[in-house]
Amino acid sequence: MRATQGVPPAGGPQSQQQQQQQQQRGANWRTWALFNLAGLAAAFLAAVVLKTKNAQDSAKNAPMNTTSFSPFTITSKEQVSPTAFVLSVRADQGGGKDPSLLLRRVWEHGLWSVEVKQPQLQIARHYTPLPPLTEEEKKDEVARGSAGNGDSSNGEGEELRFLIRKVDGGEMSTYLSKLQVGEKVWLRGPHLGFDIARRLGDTGKHVVFLAGGTGIAPALQVARRVLDDHSSRTETASERKEEKPTVSILWANRYAADALGRQQQSPQSSGATKGRAISSLFGGSASPTPSDTSSERQSQTPADSTLALQIRELQAKHPDHFRISYFVDEERHFISEHDLRLALKDSSSSPTASTMCTWHSPSQLVILPDDNDLGRRASPCTCLQDGNNNNNKSSPPPPTAASAATQTGAGADLICVSGPDGFVAAYAGPKRWFGGTERQGPVRGILGEMMEDGKFKIGGIERNWLVLKL
């Protein structure tokens, strides 16, 4: 009984008051919780907005990088043929880091591209920077008024130039063709490709480059890396002549107007040079093809683009080591097996590579997961190790990166094929998708037909040629 003393009976006036108080407390608590939740949500929203803004600001100021797009401004635009133009762009500084140092390093690497973004459709496509203009070429550019705002003091770092073909119905190339000097483009990269110098190694002495259309851009990157860099590193003129590799470009275009840098022959010489045979592309008794730039009896086309001048300057600078031959579909002049055999005739006597060598073995190339040789920098060249251990059945210990760097006497000559997918497939076979990555795949097409038992045999002798599909 005591226990119930003082407890009002249920349903009494005091009990109702308590219920009301409890309801009031509950309502207060809900209001308090809602208020706090709203506060938290507002703070979260503000943080997200601030972070996005910071990310946008830092992207605006970020130096060129492989994860986000950085702003560049168009400094000049030069129409070089009815369908192709050269676009020059310069990184916006905007408080961000100057990309000059990065660009200098990628030019040292050799082969590289960047992605360009179409902001409305949010699509991106790869484009290949042309080698920077030399001082002479820059003066020419300014003199001819194609230097845009006239401040293209690009050196090796700051300005990037692209040869772009406007493709019928092409989203990105049409968008780029409409942009004008002063407008912005967004670039992501650099994306590095094959390390040409390391693949040539010590014994590789020849690069044969089959370029279709704008595929000339990577060909010029390779020429710059192999010829210009070599010249700047070696001592004497005789040493330069002796050791410098040769670069032979076979450039195919649909229309004559796109064969930039090709010099027209004078009428009296054209009859004498109807024959297509050249005994050797470098040295030897070469009799030039109708579109061979080496002929002395040639006259310059009147309107020369900076790209044409750049090609001619390479020729003048490296007369014994650089050759470009032109092939034009509308003239019914295509790169034939015969042309390829002539180009490959100049192979060096590279010993056959170890089948396990990442750098010089054709069979390893077929299964590489990507073209980025920088990622494989630590992989050693195993050619000489295998050669030295031919009689030793037990596997040799893996060489260190240091021993690989000092290894001499290994290498390969290179055949690079670059251009639209159909062009690459016709000459070297298509690249293959495997496990979500695009791989080199086996050599097929015209080059594949020229191989015997998977090897290039020229004059009955096996030669170590690596076919790189770009």
Ligand X SMILES: Cc1cc2nc3c(=O)[nH]c(=O)nc-3n(C[C@H](O)[C@H](O)[C@H](O)COP(=O)(O)OP(=O)(O)OC[C@H]3O[C@@H](n4cnc5c(N)ncnc54)[C@H](O)[C@@H]3O)c2cc1C
Residues that bind ligand X (CB under 6 A): 113, 125-128, 162-165, 167, 169-173, 213-214, 217, 420
Nearer to ligand X, 158 or 371 (CB): 371
Of all residues in the shown chain, the one whose CB is closest to ligand X is 170
Query: 3-class DSSP state for residue 111?
Result: coil
Nearer to ligand X, 78 or 386 (CB): 78
Distance CA 159, CA 153 (A): 8
Nearer to ligand X, 163 or 344 (CB): 163
* CB of 439 vs ligand X, minimal distance in Å: 14
* CB of 163 vs ligand X, minimal distance in Å: 6
Q: Identify the helix (H) or strand (E) that includes residue 290.
A: none
Alpha-carbon distance values, 272 to 171, 289, 347, 382 (Å): 46, 10, 29, 50
* CB of 165 vs ligand X, minimal distance in Å: 4
Task: Assess contact for 162 and 129: CB atoms under 8 A.
Answer: yes
* CB of 35 vs ligand X, minimal distance in Å: 52
Look up residue 427 and give its two tokens: 């000459």
Distance CA 154, CA 136 (A): 13
Distance CA 230, CA 235 (A): 10
Nearer to ligand X, 180 or 285 (CB): 180
Nearer to ligand X, 167 or 179 (CB): 167
**Residue type for position 164:** I
Nearer to ligand X, 67 or 394 (CB): 67
Distance CA 59, CA 64 (A): 9
* CB of 348 vs ligand X, minimal distance in Å: 28
Positive or negative, the Cα torsion across 260, 324, 320, 131?
Answer: positive
Distance CA 353, CA 455 (A): 11
Distance CA 101, CA 401 (A): 25
Nearer to ligand X, 387 or 420 (CB): 420
Query: 3-class DSSP state for residue 374?
Result: helix
**Alpha carbon distance, N-terminus to C-terminus of the chain:** 98
Q: What are the backbone angles phi and psi of residue 373, rounded to the nearest 5°?
A: -70, -20
* CB of 437 vs ligand X, minimal distance in Å: 14
* CB of 182 vs ligand X, minimal distance in Å: 22
Look up residue 286 and give its two tokens: 């070469």
Query: 3-class DSSP state for residue 328?
Result: strand
* CB of 289 vs ligand X, minimal distance in Å: 25
Residues that constitute the known binding site for FAD = 163, 172-173
Look up residue 429 and give its two tokens: 């076979």
* CB of 170 vs ligand X, minimal distance in Å: 2
Nearer to ligand X, 208 or 216 (CB): 216
Residues recorded for the chain: 470
Nearer to ligand X, 243 or 329 (CB): 329
Q: Identify the helix (H) or strand (E) that includes residue 186.
A: strand 184-192
Nearer to ligand X, 96 or 190 (CB): 190
Cis bond before residue 190 (omega within 30° of 0): yes
Q: Which residue in the block uniquely carries the two structure tokens 């493709």?
A: 167
Distance CA 161, CA 220 (A): 12
**Other residues' Cβ atoms within 10 Å of the Cβ of residue 235:** 7
* CB of 241 vs ligand X, minimal distance in Å: 32
What is the distance, to the nearest Å, from the Cα of residue 157 to the centroid of all Cα atoms in its chain? 16
Task: Assess contact for 470 and 420: CB atoms under 8 A.
Answer: no
